[in-house]
Structure 1
Amino acid sequence: MIKFNSLLVFGGAILFAFIAGRVAKRLRVPLVIGYVLMGVILGKSFLNIFNPDLVNRMEIVNDLALGIIAFIIGGELNFSRLKRLGRAIFSIAISESLGAFILVSLSTYFFTKDVKISLLLGAVASATAPAATVSVINQYRTKGILTTTILGVVAIDDGIALIIYIFVAGFVSSFLTLSHLHFAKLIFLSLGKILLSLGLGLILGIIISYLGRKVREKKTFFSLTLGVFLLGEGLAISLGLSELLLIMSMAMMMSNLSPHRFVSIMDYFEVVGFPIIAGFFCLAGTRLNINLFTQIGFLAIVYLFARFLGKYLGASLGASLSKAPAVVRRYIGLTLWPQIGVALALAIMVERNFGSLKGGEYLASLAINVLLFTTIITETVGPLATKYALNKAGEIRKFRFKQKGG
């Protein structure tokens, strides 16, 4: 009988994700839906090929995938590009992230009466997945002020979500460990964690950018970057910092100090990262426990609608406060619904941060399952809503083909 090990499980996850991706492509649904659904089929809810004990051994896969996701997000934070997009994007991104966080936290607390669950779900809800939204923009080759604003907002949205999560994690940790830290001290510790994570990431980004000027070959520069990337993420985990925020700030610094060198190695990161992230989403899907649906199904519905409403109202408010054009105020809120990506990364972080604490395993399971239950809807409805908004804004290009002889 074959004895499962980490390499066998991860290799299988990548291959199954590849198959799922091909099917998803034929059905014209987001690839990530295919990866997650394949994981659900392989997991404990159905075939139980990848049982929880096996998946829990794959921590290094989670670390690599989360780091690569953070690196790609950080690379989008190019100051010159963001400056061209205007200040409205910052107002919108902050408002829609906080809108989702506040509305989901309040709504779920009303039904659960558990502040830990409500805060964690609120933090997870604040993130927006850029991939699904950007794919619609690329597919229809849209162009205009709404398109430009969307690209700017999704670039900085996930950074805000990470910061929200760090503050929430501090509060939840205090509840679970019964440490009863003073409110001001919790804020101070969370702020310190954020600043240290950002600071260390910026320093590493400066170091790589400096050394990169002395390295000509792309392969050598990629090897150098990968080494510092792994070192930085490992340091963050060892020091109790936010590895996602550290890696994101490192990539941000690289993309601003050495933009041409940074772009030159992103192809390598995308090639290496694609199968790792696909396998990561597949393994994440195995965590879905279909038996929990009767217990948390209503909570998932509350989460879903509160998040939709929070994103929509928050984005509209941010657009109004920044005096954005009418077309942005009217439609931006419809384009920010997809969630899987950093949201799933945050749910996995809940498992890592609190899984070993009393009551923490339940929190992690609940956060992941609520997210996975709602993902199919957000990743299906989200792109359709984005297409609708861009079409109403008049930014989807219309093509006319001349008939032969016409």
Structure 2
Amino acid sequence: MNFDDPLIRMAMVLVSGIIGGELVGRIKLPKVTGWIGTGILLRMLDGYLTTSHGLKLGLDPDAVSTFGPYMNFVLGYIAFTVGAALHFASLQNTGKRLGLLLLCEALITPAVVFFSLFILGGMDTKPALLLSAIAICGAPGTTVLVVQEARARGILTRTLVAAVALIDMVAVGMFEFVYAFIRVPGGGTMSLQAGLVNVGTEFGLALAVGFTCAGLALILIRTVVGPAFVGPIMVAVILGSWGAARGMDVSGILACTFAGIAVSNLRHGTVRSTEAYLQSIGGVLFAAFYTFAGMKLDFSQVWPNLSLVLLFFAFRFIGKYSGAFIAMYFANATNAVRNFLGLALLPHGGVAVGLILLVQNDPTLSDHADVITTVGLAALAINQLLGPSGARFALNSVGESGKARPRLLDFLDEHRITVTVDGNTKQAVVSSLVDQLYATSDMPIEKEEFVRQVMKREASESTCVGHGLMIPHAILDADAKMEGVLGISRKGLDFRTPDGRPVHAVLLLATPENERERHLEILSAFAHLITHDENLCEQLYHARSAAHAYNVLHAEAAEEINYFLEEVLEEFRDPNPSKPNP
């Protein structure tokens, strides 16, 4: 049999990866860990058979290079998906957390890693600088896979998924700066200004490529392409962005990330079409990709550099954890996010592989390529073997695993909550909340008409229900989904109420005709909260941030009011329910 045929190699790698992932999944570890480990074993098996029996399976780095376009597409898809997660309207309450985290990632992680390699490990300056920049990289694909497998939802999950995209952009920028700085012909040095110009040019060209490809695709979708081909058009965006970027000698990862950002913020629904289109083959894409990634590591080069590998791994983790902890401390994040975000950032993935390969293929860095490749890939393999489990442990520890299921109050996500609502009149308060509603939701009627309907309803009968709660709303003559925002005032709003108490929470609801039943369920849930659970009520009314308010409403203690809808359906089917219907 001819094992040199690329399709046979692909089949062997794919089947092996699937088996490895399934076996690892049975012991409750992320499948990506099994894929990486399978790749490492395949390379070792190929070497053993070649040496001992003269049988070469072709499962070595040459096999990976054969599938270069495939690997590039999966990297581009990962970058596009993570860029699409940066829907700015949905991240408006996370800006402080993300900003501080990126600052700490850009300063603390590379500084800690450089110190360990240069001072403790005695590594030369150039490889130490490059590995320090590579250490910033996260693993968007791995992180998204772990989140999906864990069915996680919450503040840590939201921060993590948004952060990994931006962290990789910071890593690429830092790497490009260091890369340009040390590659000056003749062994000279580049000025700080020239290095910054180089990074700015890289980002500017990548942004232009990504936005151009995304813009052309959206024009086609509006004018020519039908709904059935939205997914394929987005695949073309990924391919075009990567190819055009490589043709201009800029980062394909950045270009695809910018393309995802453009599509998400210009036509958000298109992102879901793309994900749905590729979901059916997602197992093929990721299983083969990460198995191939594991095959890149040459263990014969690891043992002579084992001390450097361990230093890189250990101090990268120290940098990641301390940087995330410091950032979340100053961002006033919840204790759960502060304590576990650093652990969740441990995975190290595709972008780091791309940067290592860039060094490996540069003849001007041939003196340092071997040590960078060995240390970088060996530590990456350890991170990919342990990192997904660390991320899963973090999600489990903060109670966000299994929460990505429909719940009654799902529309009250963090970006639809504010804790600074204020106003002297109901009109002013409602108008401010309507602005937030329209900034974060696709509404079927004009803003002014919605405000008029809400205030007309308020004039006929006050929605101040007592106990500090007000629920202004309007019933929309449209076939849409329930939308709403929650405004919290810690000091209280001085409105006329049945019990004379100031209003601390204003729940603004936009209810379509087809959601009237859910509207009543939500009113019942909040009435139950304010009258039966004083502790939860006080936590909500005095929440320090939107994230704290979100945690109150989505915590286990609140499941009696913010229940999982599928559990309610099961109870209706069960003739002897274990607990009464909400």
Q: TM-score category by the smaller chain?
A: 0.7 to 0.9
Which of 337, 347, 354 is 1:338 aligned to? 347
Match of 2:241 in 1: 232
* CA RMSD, 1 decimal: 3.2
Quote the Cα distance in structure 2 between the aligned partners of 1:346 and 1:19.
Answer: 29
Residues in 1 aligned to 2:317 and 2:6: alpha-carbon distance in whole angstroms: 37
Deviation at 1:257, TM superposition (A): 0.5
Match for residue 82 of structure 2?
A: 73
The amino acid that maps onto 2:36 is: V
Letter in 1 for 2:129: L
Query: Counterpart of 2:312 in structure 1: which amino acid?
Result: Y
What is aligned with 1:23?
A: 23
Asked whether the 8 Å contact 1:120–1:367 carries over to 2, the reply is no
Distance 1:258 1:7 in 2: 37
Deviates more, 1:259-268 or 1:127-136: 127-136
* Separation of aligned partners in 2, 1:214 and 1:6: 39
1:171 equivalent in structure 2 = 181
Query: What's the offset of the Cα at 1:388?
Result: 3.0
Offset at 1:243?
0.5
The answer (yes or no) to whether the contact 1:311–1:336 under 8 Å persists in 2 is: yes
Aligned pairs (5 A) from 1:298-309: 298-309=307-318
Which is further off, 279-288 or 331-340? 331-340
195, 210, 230: which one aligns with 1:201: 210
Q: Which runs of 5+ in 2 are unaligned?
A: 51-56, 401-550, 561-566
Name the aligned partner's letter for residue 170 of structure 2.
I
CA separation of 1:92 and 1:30: change in aligned 2, threshold 3 A: same
Question: After superposition, where does 1:40-79 map in structure 2 within 5 Å?
Answer: 40-44=40-44, 46-47=48-49, 49=57, 50-79=59-88
Residue equivalent to 2:538: none
Task: Give the Cα–Cα distance (whole angstroms) in 1 for the partners of residues 221 and 577 of structure 2.
Answer: 56
- Answer whether contact 2:312 2:375 (CA < 8 A) is retained: no
Counterparts of 2:170 and 2:123, CA distance in 1: 26
Fraction of identical pairs, as percent? 25
> Are the structure 2 counterparts of residues 89 and 355 from structure 1 closer, same or farther at C-alpha, using a change threshold of 3 Å?
same
Aligned-partner residue type, residue 309 of structure 2: A
The answer for the alignment partner of 2:169 in structure 1 is 159
Given the superposition, is the C-alpha separation of residues 365 and 171 from structure 1 closer, same or farther in structure 2, using an over 3 Å criterion? farther
| Contact map agreement 1:142 1:397 (CA 8 A) in 2 | no
CA contact (8 A) 1:215 1:221 kept: no
In the superposition, the TM-score normalised over structure 2's length comes to: 0.62
Distance 1:120-1:34 versus aligned 2 partners, 3 A rule:
same
How far apart, CA to CA, are the structure 1 residues paired with 2:300 and 2:157? 41
Deviations 1:262-311 (A, max 9, x none): 21122223434541332121112112222223212211211122111111
Whether contact under 8 Å (2:33, 2:385) holds in the other structure is: yes
Q: TM-score, normalised by structure 1?
A: 0.86
Alpha-carbon distance between aligned partners in 1 of 2:387 and 2:363, rounded to the nearest angstrom: 26
Deviation at 1:201, TM superposition (A): 1.1
CA contact (8 A) 2:210 2:256 kept: yes
In 2 relative to 1, CA 356–171 (structure 1 residues): closer, same or farther, beyond 3 Å? closer
For residue 105 of structure 1, report the CA deviation from its aligned partner.
2.1
1:236-247 equivalences under 5 Å are 236-247=245-256
Which of the two has greater strand per residue?
2
- Counterpart in 1 of 2:102? 93
**What residue number does 1:117 align with?**
127
Cα 1:196–1:132 change in 2 (3 A) is closer
Cα displacement string for residues 323-377 of structure 1 (whole angstroms, at most 9, x for unaligned residues): 434554444333322223433344344435x368533541334422232144323
SS at match of 1:359: helix
Do residues 288 (structure 1) and 293 (structure 2) align? Answer: no
Task: Give 1:358's match in structure 2, choosing from 357, 361, 366.
Answer: 366
Q: Which has the higher contact order (CA 8 A, sep 6+)?
A: 1
CA distance in 2: counterparts of 1:93 and 1:291, whole angstroms: 36
CA distance in 1 between counterparts of 2:61 and 2:341 reads 39
Deviation at 1:197, TM superposition (A): 0.9
The match for 2:159 among 149, 156, 159 is 149
**Secondary structure, aligned partner of 1:358:** helix
* SS of match in other structure, 1:126: coil
Q: Which stretch of structure 1 is more off in the superposition, 378-387 or 277-286?
A: 378-387
**Matched residue, 2:524:** none
TM alignment of 1:322-401, pairs within 5 A: 322-352=331-361, 354=362, 358-359=366-367, 361-362=369-370, 363-390=372-399, 397=556
C-alpha deviation, 1:148, in angstroms: 4.1
> Structure 1: which amino acid aligns with 2:266?
L
Larger Rg: 2
Larger % of helix: which? 1
- C-alpha distance in 2, partners of 1:31/1:279? 12
